[in-house]
Structure 1
């Protein structure tokens, strides 16, 4: 019975919890430069944030063979790691109000989860850097699932949390999040501070759009 199941709020990471665009964009440019392939625009890179890395590279370089994609993926991961190990590196910041909103949702009895195009290692790093360990009952990453917008990550989070698609809402900044939620049969809320425009999120299935994190707890109350 759904009455006995938990209510679940599922967050995307990049562009929703943390502002990671500068690191992702610069590393993608470094990767393509080293491979001596055509440079893509910053906007094009921001548009693919949220996809799994291999899917993102395929979108940006459609002429790449499957092996080219694998090679570029490995190079990107190496360059990304090197940047993070560099002296003076500062972690990608949480968006303003993020922690407070998650604390309030938890206090109201909601369970929280993550569904991200990040790798497991990358997501765990974000969790540790920002001391988010106690927030999430389920963390779903791209290395164990098909790329968004396939609903696999949401379906697994629902199972982990003892929830139901009707009792869950996805919070995200890209159409990959809103379409993934629709594919899973769940609702979604778009955030206006991320990498796809607010109207695009509404057009691809978001029920609501928030401008700031403090709006989220009361909106979730009304939806679930």
Structure 2
């Protein structure tokens, strides 16, 4: 019997294109305190971090109370955006994502998981909108773990699934995903369609330009495991 395999996905910038909603919510949060919005590049650079780590990087000169207010305002703004439109339209899956997930999940020894800086509530809304709630047998969110790149999320995913570390892979679009994978002892796939530039993904074991390439790239990991 084949050993169980685990493929863990980041969400924002990897499975879904949520850049527009993230930028709009961050602009609203800073505006709520009468502050100018951070540059687009700065906001995208913190995608992948939990909010309590991301906000201080965007506004290092503000006191902790202001950071807490910005976290609250961001969450309120993001939830408000969810109420204004269809989630599957404002945070669409990247082309080929659904097909790649189905192809990977069709193998009887492959499990799918998630490790995200999103909250439990935010992830639930997103997965429900895309009809993917049952696709991922382990779902690790910011509510229960230190921020990436701490390996806590991946350690928990391995415990929950019983998969050995050498049979697990992390798929992500940011340096934090790649660093988290390395810290947990997992191999990693850097996807080139997300929030961080190629230079930030240099530490990944392999890179892909589209979801169509992903199943074969992961299969090559299994062949040498």
TM over 0.5: yes
Q: Superposition pairs for residues 105-184 of structure 1, below 5 Å?
A: 105-108=104-107, 109-184=109-184
Which ranges in structure 1 are unaligned for 5 or more consecutive residues? none
| Distance (whole Å) between structure 1 residues aligned to residue 213 and residue 27 of structure 2 | 35
TM-score under structure 2 normalisation? 0.93
Give the CA RMSD over aligned residues: 1.5
User: Which of 37, 42, 45 is equivalent to 1:44?
Assistant: 42
Residue 5 of structure 1: how far off its partner (Å): 4.4
2:7–2:110 CA contact under 8 A, matched in 1: yes
User: Which of 211, 218, 221 is equivalent to 2:209?
Assistant: 211
Which ranges in structure 2 are unaligned for 5 or more consecutive residues? none
1:172–1:189 CA contact under 8 A, matched in 2: yes
1:15–1:173 CA contact under 8 A, matched in 2: yes
| Distance (whole Å) between structure 2 residues aligned to residue 140 and residue 119 of structure 1 | 9
Secondary structure of the residue aligned to 1:13 is coil
Aligned length: 220
Residue 86 of structure 1: how far off its partner (Å): 2.0
The 1:54/1:111 distance shift into structure 2, 3 A limit, reads same
Residue 215 of structure 1: how far off its partner (Å): 0.8
